[in-house]
Every structure is written in C-alpha cells, then in structure tokens.
Structure 1
C-alpha cells in the first residue's frame, strides 16, 4: 500500500471512527439524566474514569509507537 493510500485510508477511517465515538459518548452522557435513570455517584465516577482512561490511552498511542493494552469497561 502506498503512502498516499495509507493517508487516504487513515482519513477515511478516522472520520468514521471518531464520529462514531463522539456519538457513543453523547449516548453515554444521556445516562446522566436523573429523570430517566438512577445511579450512584460512584457509578458515575467509574464511567467517567473509564472513558478518561481510554482517551488518555488513545492520546498516548498517537504520541508513541507502543501498542497499549485494551480494556473493557464493566460497572
């Protein structure tokens, strides 16, 4: 695959994946509506912590060549 093809593929996938991630984060944000859901402050902190850890991991991935470990969120 040429450099041009790799760049075009990166842009294509980045647009799709980042927009999907933003939409999914917005859906998680909807869970904060106390009129529709009941949750503890600890549960809310766990969600925010898990999301922040993944954002930090992505940030680090772009700043280095190391592959970080993937994790799965679970309350």
Structure 2
C-alpha cells in the first residue's frame, strides 16, 4: 500500500465525523502540508542553486495552473448543486 492510499484509509476511519468537520480537518492538514512544500520551493532561490528566469516562470506558472484548477473544482461543485434543482422562476 503506497503512502497516499494509507493516508486516505486513515482519513476515512471516523465514520461518525460530519462532512463539514472532515473537510475542515483534512483541508487544514493538506493546506499546511502544501504551504511547507511551497516554502521548500522558495528555498531553491538561494545561492546554492542556479536557475534561469524561464525556469522560474515555468515552475510558478505550473503551480498557479494547478491552484486555479483546484479552485475551479470548488466553483463547479457549487454550480452543479444549483443545476440539480428545477423551478419555473
């Protein structure tokens, strides 16, 4: 079992936990992990490394695209729930 699968199994252990509480718990954990990893990327700007402006732009462009895609998933899930209802209004 790889590490991600193991984490997912642990994350689903508490079946009595509300969806809102599970979201808050997992989001906090995952965002904090992402922040730590992004800070490590920033450490690559030190004098121990050489890089071009193009490499930096490609790296941050990719990160921004992934962030935008993740944010879009939240917008789409809200819109999807609105489309599940019908009115003549």
TM superposition score normalised by structure 2: 0.65
User: RMSD of the alignment, in Å?
Assistant: 1.9
Shift of 1:23: 0.7
Correspondence for 1:32: 45
Correspondence for 1:10: 23
Q: Choose between structure 1 and 2: higher helix proportion.
A: 2
Shift of 1:52: 0.5
Shift of 1:5: 1.1
Number of equivalenced pairs = 64
Indicate the structure whose relative CO is greater, using CA pairs within 8 Å and at least 6 residues apart.
1
Correspondence for 1:44: 56
Displacement over 6 Å in runs of 4+: none
Larger Rg: 2
Structure 2 spans left out of the alignment, 5+ residues: 1-14, 80-89
